[in-house]
Amino acid sequence: MKMHSISKNIERVEAAIIEAARSAGRDPGDVCLVAVSKTRPASTIRAAYEAGLTNFGENYLQEALTKIAALEELPLTWHFIGAVQSNKTRPIAEHFHWVHTVDRRRIAQRLSDHCPAGKTLDVCLQVNIDSDPAKSGVQPDDAGKLLRETRELPRLRVRGLMTILAARSEALTSYQRLAKLFEALKKEAADPWDTLSMGMSKDFRQAIIAGATLVRVGTDIFGPRS
Ligand SMILES: *Cc1c(COP(=O)(O)O)cnc(C)c1O
């Protein structure tokens, strides 16, 4: 996709974020836009950076590492949003700033163990808010336990919750449930407990109305994936 259309798309998404936030009485500055760049080449990411974005989300490790290396000179923040395989925790902890998909204790422990000295990895706990058998994530009732198990890990900073909705779920209702869980867990969390990672191209507006502080948008910025 051309630079011109990427920057137009970004303008459109940012305008929609502002509108959704204002309609909910929220400050649009409290919503971070992460551009989901899986399957897109480094040149496309560079174009999005030149149009003003600095946060990028990737799902597939090998592909991501190539692009992270190619764009090393740019001040980008990389978010891992794919399923974490336990034999991949070292490169993930080394090369990413955030991991949104921590859904079990063993993965959290390994990410902390493999995080380089002097670095802190920001993480979200992935919750299967619709209890969809096809989706990963901790069950809502078990999220408190996972939080207690992960908040003490020395190299992790547990920032909040993330979810991916079931295909048929009613977005606003599901996102409101995750927001409620986020509030309920606040008293168990260490500071800063400030991130509610929810919302994709088709439903980021509802997510913002429900309280998202971070939306993960791919298609609306870069066009359909082939
Ligand atoms: C691909 C992906 C997105 C972005 O999806 P779009 O529909 O392209 O906006 C967001 N979050 C996760 C976890 C994804 O895998």
Report the distance separating Cα 12 and Cα 89, nearest Å: 35
CA distances (Å), origin 6, targets 12, 88, 144, 156: 10, 31, 40, 34
Ligand 1 pocket check for 216: Cβ under 6 Å: yes
The structure tokens listed for 78 are 């990389």
**Which atom of ligand 1 is nearest the CA belonging to 81?**
13
Burial of 177 from C-beta contacts in 10 A (0-12 / 13-18 / 19+): middle
Ligand 1 pocket check for 217: Cβ under 6 Å: yes
CA of 145 to the centre of ligand 1 (A): 27
Report the distance separating Cα 111 and Cα 205, nearest Å: 32
Answer positive or negative: Cα dihedral of 10, 14, 17, 19: negative
Q: What is the pLDDT along the chain (226 residues), one digit of tens a residue?
A: 666 799 999 999 999 999 999 999 999 999 999 999 999 999 999 999 999 999 999 999 999 999 999 999 999 999 999 999 999 999 999 999 999 999 999 999 999 999 999 999 999 999 999 999 888 999 999 999 999 999 999 999 999 999 999 988 999 999 999 999 999 999 999 889 999 999 999 999 999 999 999 999 999 999 999 8
**Which atom of ligand 1 is nearest the CA belonging to 200?**
9
